[in-house]
Amino acid sequence: MATISARLSDSEKEALDEVAVLLDEDRSTTIRKALSEGLTNLRVHVAIERYQSGEISVKQAAEIADVSLGKWLSIARENNLTSQLSPEELESDVEAARDL
């Protein structure tokens, strides 16, 4: 396991310690959980932005978010995303879904 270090403000350290107490965990475990959940949320956020702008396809959005195509479609529905893709791109996404 790799070791990293980070500088936190006093308020961030206090918040971290409060959450660690709430979870009944040590600080390192809480940091690993927060980082994992935060990275997951960031991946989804980037996928949402790029998909909504029309930069990427459904399949690419699922890959960026690191979720299944079905899960991505659920995320897209929850966020009221509309397709910005051409008919050809949509057909490609349908073919990708069929391959599942």
Distance CA 28, CA 67 (A): 26
Looking from the CA of 14 toward its CB, the CA atoms found within 13 Å total 3
> Quick one: how far is CA 23 from the chain centroid?
22
Which alpha helices (DSSP H) does 24-86 contain, by range?
A: 27-52, 58-65, 69-78
Whether the predicted pLDDT of 8 surpasses 80: yes
Neighbours of 98 (CB within 10 A): 7
pLDDT tens-digit readout, 19-60: 999 999 999 999 999 999 999 999 999 999 999 998 998 889
CA distances from 42 to 10, 80, 90 (A): 24, 18, 25
Domain parsing of the chain, residue ranges: 10-98
More confident position, 44 or 85: 44
Q: What is the pLDDT of residue 100?
A: 64
Distance CA 34, CA 16 (A): 9
Neighbours of 90 (CB within 10 A): 13
